[in-house]
Structure 1
Amino acid sequence: MRSGKRMISEILKLDKLEHFNDIIEMNNGIPHFKILVGGRWVMANAYIDVRSPINNEIIARVSKMDVQMADESLDKAVSAKRAMKDLPGFSRIEILEKAATLLDERKESVINALILNVGKTRKDAIGEVDSTLDRIKNVKSDARTILGDFVPGEWSKHNKGRIAIVVREPVGVVLAISPFNYPLFISYTKVIPALVAGNAVLLKPPSAVPLAPLLMAKILDDAGLPKGALSTIIAPGIIASYLSTSNFVDMITFTGSTETGLELTKISGVKKIHLELGGKASAIVLPPIGNLKKVAKDIVDGSLKLSGQRCDAINRVLVHKDLAPKLTSEITEIVKNMKIGNPFEEGVSSGPLIDRKAVERVSALVKDAVQKGAKICTGGKSRENYYEPTVLCNVPLESKIMWEETFGPVIPIYTFQNEEEAVEITNRSEYGLDNSVFTDDINIAWRVAKKIESGEVTVNGFPSHGIGFFPFGGVKQSGLGREGIGYSVEEFTNTKTIVYNLEE
């Protein structure tokens, strides 16, 4: 493991560091970060220790927002929402395109922050930054969906002599709350379309992993975003709850646990809300299958990327009895050869979980499954924040891991007898975010996909949403609304109807 000082040195080697000097101060060898409060960068008296899951050591300290700063951020956002609405659409796009250029120039900084702060492999960190870049570069596609309608009244005798113009307008102030697993990408797939639509945003990234979101906020500030249009709420959840109840917040967009999402719906009052919550994706494997090796690889990739800490990760494998022995063997062989460890080391494919509490939760789920009859085919051990990539065979349905979101590097495999059983098990879940179907028969794939209660079904592949060309969101306890290019913008706008009474 790298020492704490060597870990901090990685942050100090950020490419183009001079661009971030005015938001970072060194104190006793540890970088202290300012936060963006209503258009100004503030070093608070209190701070939050930021630890790396790689070795649990402090790598930075970030200013901690209090209620007074939250109120200032909100006040400035209320003013900025008018400025953002009045700012021509092409000017908003120009700001974001400049931000994309700056992010590309400074991307090594953000990549290092993701590796250090989240424990991502370098490949995954690069992927997150590149996806964020691509998302920004597609803002013109978002803009094309902010269109209106002309409705003539002549088709109704009560509206003769009247016409209506239907326009889409920004909702106003958006509170965006993002999770730890993709702190840059998910944060800014909320922020970017909200800004394109003409809103002001209060961004609440996870307090444990705030570094990459802060660096991106600095980039947007440098790109010329109007003051107050973006603030970074680095604070405990109670501050987010406080802001959620405010009548001056017009919309909440949240990605995270179903439990927290349900709480937000209770306290937020009458305002727009978008929720992307938990998932329990099944990979249903049905004959005929000509290439089980590819299916096994797809399942492993879909299950274990980012150590399984993804809402759209494959959480359970449901395989037909005729395919189960061979597929289980193929999956186990791949997982056995995975290298777990420090993501800075060459060849590491599985890094740490976000903290020790996450490891303990995964361990408890595996232990419960084993006690109820499952067999550990490989893995099953942990140390510090690391949990071995694990395959559980012959997992009984009563195991908790078959129903609870795992958020860890475990592949539970269940053998079913027929198609109807697989569909019933999948739909019995309280979640409905993603699922996968593997088969060489397109008719079977279509039939099963139609039966599954899910926001998305991927055929012959694992769920992967990229930059959001396809709409993404869940049903049941997995959320409300949709994200994606064009779809997010609709969430961040309201429809206004302007009716003209014309003289005959």
Structure 2
Amino acid sequence: MSMQERIGLKLGEFFDPIYTRDPDGIPFFKMLINGEWFFSVSKKMIDVDTPIDGSVIARVSNATRDEVERAIEVAYGSKPKIRNIPGIERIMIFEKAAHLIMKYKDDFVRTLMLEAGKPKRDAEGEVRATVDRLMLTMEEARKIFGEYIPGDWSDDTTGKIALVIREPVGVVVAISPFNYPLYIASAKIIPALLAGNTVVSKQSSEDPITLLLFARILEEAGIPPGTLNMVTGSGELGDYLVPNEKVAAINFTGSTNVGRRIAKTAGLKKLHLELGGKGMAIVLEDADLDLAAKRCVEGSLKNAGQRCDAISAVMVVESVADEFARKVVDEVRNWKHGDPRDPSVKVGPVINLVAAQRIQGLVDDAKEKGARLLAGGSHKDCYFVPSVIYDVPLVARIAWEETFGPVVTIMKIKSEDEAIEIGKKSRYGLDSCIFTNNFYKMWKVAKRLETGEVTINDLPRHGVGYFPFGGSKESGIGREGIGYSIEEMTQLKTIIFNLEPAGLGKAKKVYL
């Protein structure tokens, strides 16, 4: 497909209420507060550029502080609207939403390709994963059970019983990153609403359109007005959302630096922070090198490496390092890069030119410090060529910093013990993996690595969240997953019954 072809975002009539077209034909999207789609009174717009060629494909409002605070007020006042809806009715709303997403799948896929630069296969996968997450969360929501605790095992509580139940926390602020603009945001919104909370959502200004389409879907599915509110704008909106005392929980995915700032300013509220990562892969001498090379390349290049669970450091035992590196280079050749509208492309552009330049800086620094470039190593505009850099020394920045780009970084180690020690020195602790057929070594690594997840003989992948994931150290707070996300957005309440009026009072002590 020609890179010179003019790019324009086209949507079906179903989405007409959420945008208008400017005189130049570019769609201008509205925000959603209290069931009303509207433009910000600020009159300020933010351009949404496509990483395909840098052209403007859409515009969104830049919300004012007053509008952000109104969104929170509306969400706070709307809490009874959703928490008092029977759970089965909430599930029916989301069942309808799942059908609507699939009905308008092409609109979602097209938008993801244009605003995020995703190859078609990845965009389709993100839509499928969103529907899968929705369906699985609906099933898990049926398991929001309580607990019965008899009191007769203690002198202090004999004659009493307790019921421990889960209740919604209240207003949840969901702040989402650019790399999976539909899936990550929906994975926050879906469990929050199913658990009976209200939501104020803020998506990255790099690619906010797909999530607005999702909000339109939920609106049509019957979510009560005011229970889901969408604000768009620059990152500074977080400064208005996070400290607000009417917000009960913050669910944030993004950089460690921003997460640290959120933790400092949030005040007394629940925090779920999924932050940066430096996914480590360890390849031992007995590993299936073909499998390891294939999975490490996929883990490094998928979504152009823009994944918090990406493999961004491959540590290989010296005796097999050269052979492994050759297999990696061969595998990288299977990952065609280019215009994401080309169905054969597997690696599209990174999100913007600044990101491409940052990745270039990491690769150049490694080369200057002695690493060998085996493939790629350059970019044109937002298109970073899938790269392999070998024998990377520990003094290189790329050995420690999150890459977030399509680079396979290979480092030599003497044993798994050296890899464990390197891992301990990392500020991050999100994901890791090991390739070996030695049970004792895989178990030792799994036990000693300070990461939230260790995968054996495969790449780390959070997928639809069927397994829980989350970080240690500077990679975050809390756990995400089908049921775990619901737990993060609920709180326990203990209800104690005194049964003495029913003749079930304190038992007499028996002394032996």
TM-score (normalised: structure 2): 0.95
Cα distance between partner residues in 1 of 2:216 and 2:262: 28
Aligned counterpart, 2:447: 450
Moved more, 141-150 or 280-289: 141-150
SS of the residue 1:48 aligns to = strand
SS, match of residue 110 in structure 1: helix
Q: 1:247 to 1:4 in 2, by over 3 A?
A: farther
Per-residue CA distance 1:477-496 (angstroms, 9 max, x = gap): 01011111110000000100
Q: Name the counterpart of 1:296.
A: 293
CA contact (8 A) 1:339 1:349 kept: yes
Please point out which of 352, 355, 359 is paired with 2:356: 359
| Residues 142, 193 of structure 1: 8 Å contact kept | no
Letter in 2 for 1:448: V
SS at match of 2:152: helix
CA distance in 1, matches of 2:362, 2:297: 19
Q: Which amino acid is the alignment partner of residue 476 of structure 2? A: G
1:381 match: 378
Measure how far apart 1:127 and its partner are. 0.4
Where does 1:335-354 land on structure 2 (aligned, <5 Å)? 335-354=332-351
Q: Secondary structure at the match of 1:333?
A: helix
Q: Structure 1 unaligned segments of length 5 or more: list them.
A: none
**1:364 partner SS:** helix
* C-alpha distance in 1 between matches for 2:421 and 2:51: 38
Change (3 A) 1:346 1:106: closer
Q: Distance in 2 between matches of 1:207 and 1:37?
A: 18
Which residue of the partner structure matches residue 276 of structure 2?
278
Partner of 1:36: 32
Report the equivalent of 1:106.
Answer: 104
Match of residue 486 from structure 1: 483
233-242 or 386-395, which moves further after superposition? Answer: 233-242
Picking from 124, 142, 160, the partner of 1:144 is 142
Residue equivalent to 2:233: 235
In structure 1, distance between residues paired with 2:139 and 2:237:
34
Equivalent position of 1:7 in the other structure: 7
Q: Secondary structure of 2:148's partner?
A: strand
Aligned letter for 1:155? W
Deviation digits for residues 359-408 of structure 1, max 9, x if unmatched? Answer: 11111111111111001011111111111111111111111100000111
Structure 2 CA distance, aligned partners of 1:413 and 1:114? 31
Q: 2:168 aligns with which of 129, 149, 170?
A: 170
Question: Tell me, what secondary structure is at the counterpart of 2:487?
Answer: helix
Q: Which residue of structure 2 lines up, in the alignment, with residue 426 of structure 1?
A: 423
- Other structure's SS at 1:157 match: coil
- Contact 1:93 1:139 (C-alpha < 8 Å) held by counterparts: no
- Whole-angstrom CA distance in 2 between matches of 1:91 and 1:252: 26
Q: Which residue of 2 aligns with 1:88?
A: 86
Separation in structure 2 between the aligned mates of residue 75 and residue 141 of structure 1, nearest angstrom: 31
Tell me the distance in 2 between the aligned counterparts of 1:345 and 1:136.
29
**In the TM superposition, what whole-angstrom CA distance separates every residue of 1:304-326 from its partner, at most 9, and x where no partner exists?**
10111111000111001111011
The answer to whether 1:267 aligns with 2:262 is no
- Residue deviations 1:439-466 (CA, integer Å, cap 9, x gap): 1222221221111111000000001111
- The structural deviation recorded for 1:3 is 6.9
Q: How does 1:16-415 map to 2 (within 5 A)?
A: 17-27=12-22, 28-44=24-40, 45-289=43-287, 291-415=288-412
Q: Deviations over 1:176-210 (max 9, x none)?
A: 00100001000000000000100000011111100
Q: Secondary structure at the match of 1:407?
A: coil
Q: State the AA in 2 paired with 1:18.
A: E
CA–CA separation in structure 2 for the residues paired with 1:412 and 1:5:
34
Asked if the contact 2:69–2:240 (Cα under 8 Å) also holds between the matched residues in 1, the reply is: no
Q: Percent identity?
A: 46
Give the secondary-structure state (helix, strand or coil) at the position aligned to 1:155.
coil
Aligned-residue offset at 1:227: 0.4
SS state of the match for residue 172, structure 2? strand
Q: Retained in 1: the 8 A contact 2:60–2:233?
A: no
Query: Contact (CA 8 Å) 1:47, 1:61: kept in 2 or not?
Result: yes
Residue type at the aligned position of 1:39: G
TM, length-normalised to structure 1:
0.97
Alpha-carbon shift at residue 2 of structure 1 (Å): 5.5
C-alpha contact (below 8 Å) 1:336/1:378 kept by paired residues: no
Task: Name the aligned partner's letter for residue 334 of structure 1.
Answer: E
CA drift of 1:38 comes to 2.3
Deviation at 1:139, TM superposition (A): 2.6
State whether residues 145 and 489 of structure 1, in contact with CA within 8 Å, keep that contact through their aligned partners in structure 2: no
- Over aligned residue pairs, what C-alpha RMSD do you find? 1.3
| 1:21, distance to aligned residue in structure 2 (A) | 1.0
**Secondary structure at the counterpart of residue 208 of structure 1:** coil
1:394-436 deviation digits (Å, cap 9, x = unpaired) = 1111111000001111111111112211111122211110001
Please list the CA deviations of residues 62-108 of structure 1 after superposition, one character each: whole Å capped at 9, or x if unmatched.
12211222122111101111211111111111111111010010011
Q: Distance in 1 between matches of 2:254 and 2:142?
A: 29
Distance in 2, Cα, partners of 1:2 & 1:91 = 48
Query: 1:225: how far off?
Result: 0.3
**1:197-245 per-position Cα deviation (integer Å, ceiling 9, x unaligned):** 0000001111110011000000000101000011112022222211111
1:345: how far off?
1.6
Q: Deviations over 1:92-127 (max 9, x none)?
A: 111111110100100110001000000000000000
- How far apart in 1 are the matches of 2:335 and 2:194? 41
Give the whole-Å Cα distance in 2 for the aligned partners of 1:301 and 1:277: 21
- Paired with 1:3 and 1:41, the residues of 2 have a C-alpha distance of 34
